[in-house]
Structure 1
Amino acid sequence: MAKTTTLLWAIAGVLFLALAGVAAYKALPILNPEVGGMAPLDTDCDLRAGACRSDLPGGGQISFAIKTPGIPLVKPLDLEVRLSGVEASKVEVDFVGIGMNMGFNRPRLDARGDGVFAGTGMLPVCVRVAMEWEARVLITSPRGLLAAPFRFITVKDGVVLPGGER
C-alpha cells in the first residue's frame, strides 16, 4: 500500500512538472515577445509635458502620450498612440518598472482610424517615493513586431522632489 501511494505521488509530481513546463513554454512568447525592430530611446522625452515622438526602424514615426495629468498610480491613464508611415493590426503598451519587477501590465489600445490607437491603462501601487518606468509601445505590423520605448517617472501623491517636480 505504501509503495503504491509513493508511486502515485511520484507520477503526480512528474505530471505537474510536465504541465508547468508546457505552460511556461506557451507563456514565454506572451511575456517576452520577439521584437523585430526597436526605436531608439529619447532621453529628452518628458511624457508629463506632452506627447513624445520617435522614428521607427524601417521607416515611419510614432507619437505616444499619457493624457492623464501627473501620471498617477492606481488610477486610469488615458493612452494615445499616433502612427504615420506604418500600418498596425494591433498596438499595446507594456509598462515595465525600471529596476523593479512590477508584474505583467500590457493594455491593448483600440484602433480609432487614421493611425490613431487609444485606450486606458493603469500603473500598480509602488512602495518607492519615485519610480522610473518604461512604456514600451508594441506595434504588430506587416514588418513584424516593432517597439518604441518611452521613459517617465511617477511620484507618490503629496511628495515634492527637489526641483519642485511632483
Structure 2
Amino acid sequence: MAKSTIFYWGIAGLLFVALASVATFKVMPVLNPEVQGTAALDSDCDLRAGPCLSQLPGGGSVSFAIKTPGIPLVKPLDLEVRLADVEASKVEVDFVGIDMNMGFNRPKLNSVGDGVYSGTGMLPVCVRVAMEWEARVLITTPRGLLVAPFRFITVKDGVALPGGSQ
C-alpha cells in the first residue's frame, strides 16, 4: 500500500473518531439529563388501581396514571400527568426496566390545559413472564428538570401477577 493511501485512511479514521465524539457529546444530555430534584418513590403506589400522587422537591405535586386497563405490553398505553403548583414547559415519561435494559422509551406528553398532560406510550415485549418497570415522569421547569418515579409490574397475557401485588 502506498504511503499516501495509508495517510488518507488515517485522516478518515481521525475524522470518524471526531464525528463520533461530537455525536456522543450531543446525545448525552438527552439520554442522561441533569436532574434538579427527584421525588420519593411511593412503594404503596398501584398504577393498576388508578393514578398515583407524588410530592415534588421544592413544592408542588405530580399525579401519574396509565389509563389503559391491565398495562399490556406492545399495545398503546394512554398516559396522563396532572401537575399542581408546578410550571412546566415539557413533560415526558421515561419507561425504564428494573434489572433489564429495555432501550430508550420516552414519549412526550401534550399539554391539554390546567396542568394536565396526556399522550400515548408503549412498552416493548419482554422475554420474562413478569417484568418490573419504573415510569419516570420528567418535568422540565424554569428551575430545572424534576423527576417523579412510579413503579409497576407487567405480566405476559394469561399470567397472574406475582404475589397478588400491583
Sort the TM-score into its range (normalised by shorter chain).
over 0.9
Match of 1:57 in 2: 57
Match of 1:68 in 2: 68
1:2 shift after superposition: 2.1
Gap regions ≥5 residues in structure 2: none
- 2:130/2:162 contact within 8 Å kept: no
Determine if the alignment matches structure 1 residue 119 to structure 2 residue 119.
yes
SS of match in other structure, 2:23: helix
Q: Give a deviation string over 1:42-101, Cα, whole Å, max 9, x none.
A: 011111111000000100111000000111111100000000011111100001111111
* Cα distance change, pair 162–132 in 1 and its aligned pair in 2 (3 A): closer
SS of match in other structure, 1:82: strand
**If the length of structure 1 is used for normalisation, what is the TM-score?**
0.96
Distance 1:162 1:147 in 2: 28
Match of 1:128 in 2: 128
Query: Within 5 A, what are the aligned runs for 1:7-46?
Result: 7-46=7-46
Distance 2:106 2:62 in 1: 18
SS of match in other structure, 1:128: coil
Distance 1:117 1:150 in 2: 16
Gap regions ≥5 residues in structure 1: none
Count of residues paired in the alignment? 166
Distance 2:3 2:65 in 1: 63
Distance 2:140 2:87 in 1: 8
Detail structure 1 runs of 4+ shifted over 3 Å in the superposition.
161-166
Aligned-residue sequence identity (percent) comes to 78
